[in-house]
Amino acid sequence: MSSPNPRVLVITGDGINCETETAQAFQAARFATDIRHLNDLILEGMTLDRLSAQYAVLALPGGFSFGDDLTSGKVLALKIQNRLKWDLQAYANRGGMVIGICNGFQALIRMGIFGADISITHNLQGKFLNTWVKVTPSGSKCAWLKGMGTIDLPIRHGEGRLLIAPGRRSETFDKMEKQGMTCLRYEGDPNGSESRLAGLCDATGRIFGLMPHPEAFIRWTAHPEWTAQPGRASAPGHGLAVFENAYMEALKSR
């Protein structure tokens, strides 16, 4: 079969700043990628139908969209909902996949993808933090994490602490657990996040958001301890599997 590689739409503009490495990570997993400015998509009227027809994956990269001045990711979420009028749930139901990394995850949360009772706020320490963490997938729901064990990834955020509305905490959490949405946890506790959650997926497992940066660990030489084993310098990094999983899934969904 000679059909072209599945395509990824990587959104950029207005303070998003991880678009290049996010596109490169998808390319390393054999995707074709387009980095497009949010305003261009709005101007040319990229509808949900066109998005579904053209792109197997939508990626919301990390950064500080609109300066994060009205809580993180909020303006980006509003633009996607009200200007582009994309219903990401419908996109996923039609076979599309979505990843939101760091600021992109914050935007997915603001859109209510993981329910109205989920929010994200400043790290417990009250500071921006760039460090490496170990994260472990739980359950088999998330299409992006299939077959993966514990991996090392960097976090680089000031607002990564997931919260559940306190009044409905246990029922909300139980429901999310049951649906397999609580799909990624930190091994430690870097930011005070609810139940050490590092990432969430929606009930279809196709929309995935996480605070750590899988696109920043595509090469083994990005690891903070790689020089201890120079023989492995050419190996891929742990993050690549996330994008390769999406590729396998995208081929299946055609």
Residue 167 or 230 with smaller CB distance to other proteins:
230
Residue 89 C-beta: closest distance to other proteins, Å? 29
Single out the catalytic residue among 102, 142, 183, 201.
Answer: 102
Q: What is the C-alpha separation between 233 and 236, in angstroms, rounded?
A: 8
Residue 136 C-beta: closest distance to other proteins, Å? 10
Residue 236 C-beta: closest distance to other proteins, Å? 13
CA 209 to chain centre: 3
Instruction: Tell me whether residue 102 is one of the annotated catalytic residues.
Output: yes
The β-bridge relationship of strands 32-37 and 97-101 is unpaired
Q: Contact at 8 Å (CB) between 89 and 58?
A: no
Instruction: Tell me whether residue 159 is one of the annotated catalytic residues.
Output: no
Query: What residue ranges bind other proteins (CB under 8 A)?
Result: 12-15, 17-18, 20-21, 24-25, 27-28, 37, 39-40, 43, 62-64, 66-67, 69, 127-135, 152, 154, 156, 186-188, 213, 215-216, 218-219, 221-225, 227-228, 230, 233-234
Residue 132 or 146 with smaller CB distance to other proteins:
132
Instruction: Tell me whether residue 213 is one of the annotated catalytic residues.
Output: yes
Residue 149 makes CB contacts below 8 A (sequence gap 6+) with: 136, 137
Residue 34 or 174 with smaller CB distance to other proteins:
34
Residue 117 or 215 with smaller CB distance to other proteins:
215
Single out the catalytic residue among 159, 215, 244, 249.
Answer: 215
Residue 62 or 205 with smaller CB distance to other proteins:
62
- Cite the active site residues: 102, 213, 215
